[in-house]
Amino acid sequence: MKAIERHSRLIAENLATWQLPDFPENLYEPLRYFLTIGGKRMRPVLTLMGAELFGEKAESALHAAIGVELFHNFTLIHDDIMDAAPLRRSKTTIHTKWNENIAILSGDVLMVKAYEEICKQAPKHLFELMQIFNKTAIEVCEGQQMDMDFETRANVEIPEYIEMIRLKTSVLLGGALEMGAIVAEASLEDRELLYTFGQELGLAFQIKDDYLDLYGDPKKFGKQIGGDVIANKKTLLYLLALEKANAQQIETCRQLENEPDLLFKVENMRKLFDQLEIPAAAHKHMEAHFNKGMLALSKISVKDENKKDLIDLSNYLMAREN
C-alpha cells in the first residue's frame, strides 16, 4: 500500500500547485473547483507505476500521469452533463453550479490541457504517447456513446455490455499504464502485456463497481446504495439476472422497474438477485478478468519484486468497499 499512497500524494501535490489562468474566470474557475473534488487518482498512479515497473523513476512520467488525470476529469464533466447528474462525490456538478454551456466549454479546454501536459514529456516519446492516448480517448468516447445507446435499447447482450465497459472504463487503465511504460522505454511486447493487464483490471474494477452499487455497505459506500437499480441501468448484475431468470422472475423484474417506492424497489430487486445467485455469478466474471490480467502481468519480463506495487494495487481495488 505504501507505493499507492506515495504516488497518489505525488499526484495530489502536483494538481494542487498546478496553475490555471485566472481569466476568463467562467472558464477556469469551474475547473479549479472540479479538480479539488478529488477521487482515487487511480489512473495517474497507474502511469507512475507503469514507469517504475521498468526501472524508471515515477517522477519521469509525472506529466503524462497528470495528463491522464485531466483527461479523466474532462470525461467526468461532460458525462455529468449527459447524465444530468446533480452531484459528483457529494459535490455539485459544474453544469449545476454554473450552467451547461460553461460545463461544455470548460470540459473542452480541460481536454486540451490534458494534451498540453502530455506534451511536456520528452519529445522523443511524444509520438508513441500520442498514438496510445489518441486511441484511448477515442475509445472512451465510443464507450460513452454505447452506454447512452443502451439506455433506450430493449435488449443488451452480456458481451456487448463487457465491450461497452471495456471502452468506457478499462482502456484508460490500460492506456495509463502503457504511457508509463513508453516513458520507461519498455519493449513493445511488455507494453502490450501491461496494457492487457490494465484493461482486464479495469473490467474487474467496473464489475466490482456494479456489485458495490447494490451490495456495498451503506456506511462505507460513498453514494446511495441501489442507484443503478433506481435508474433501471443495464448493469452486469441486471443482465445476468435476466439471463438466469424464469418467466415469472422476469415479470417480477419488469414490475420492479416501474415501482415508484424506491426503497421497496431496491430491496426487492436485491432479493431477486440473491435468489438468482447473481453476486456469485458477477464475482465469477470479475475473477476471470482479474486472473487474465494477472496472467499478463506475470509474463512481463521484469523481476517479480518490480511487480509487487501493481499486484498490491490490484488487490486493493478488488477488496475495496467504496
Kindly list the residues in this chain that would bind its own copies in the complex (CB under 8 A). Answer: 21, 23-24, 26-27, 78, 81-82, 101-102, 104-105, 107-109, 111-113, 115-116, 119, 123, 126-127, 130-131, 134, 137-138, 141-142, 144-146, 148-149
**Cβ atoms 168, 82 nearer than 8 A:** no
Alpha carbon 283 to its chain centroid, in Å, reads 18
Report the distance separating Cα 94 and Cα 89, nearest Å. 12
Cell output for 200 = 482486464
- Min dist CB 284 to its own copies, Å, is 28
Closest separation between CB of residue 249 and its own copies, Å?
31
Longest dimension (CA), the chain: 62
- In terms of CB distance, is 58 or 77 closer to its own copies? 77
Pick 102 or 230: Cβ nearer its own copies? 102
Please, which residue, 150 or 221, has the CB nearer to its own copies? 150
Helices (H) and strands (E) in the chain, counts: 16, 2
Instruction: Give me the least distance between CB of 54 and its own copies, in Å please.
Output: 22
Q: Of 47 and 136, which has the nearer Cβ to its own copies?
A: 136
DSSP-derived secondary structure letter, 167 = I
C-alpha–C-alpha distance, residues 190 and 308, integer Å: 16
**Cβ 279 to its own copies shortest distance, Å:** 31
What is the C-alpha to C-alpha distance for residues 282 and 79, in angstroms, rounded to an integer? 25
Our CB check for its own copies shows the closer of 182 and 294 to be 182
- Sequence-ordered list of residues with C-beta below 8 angstroms from that of 255, at least 6 positions apart, any chain: none
| Minimum CB distance to its own copies, residue 67 (Å) | 11
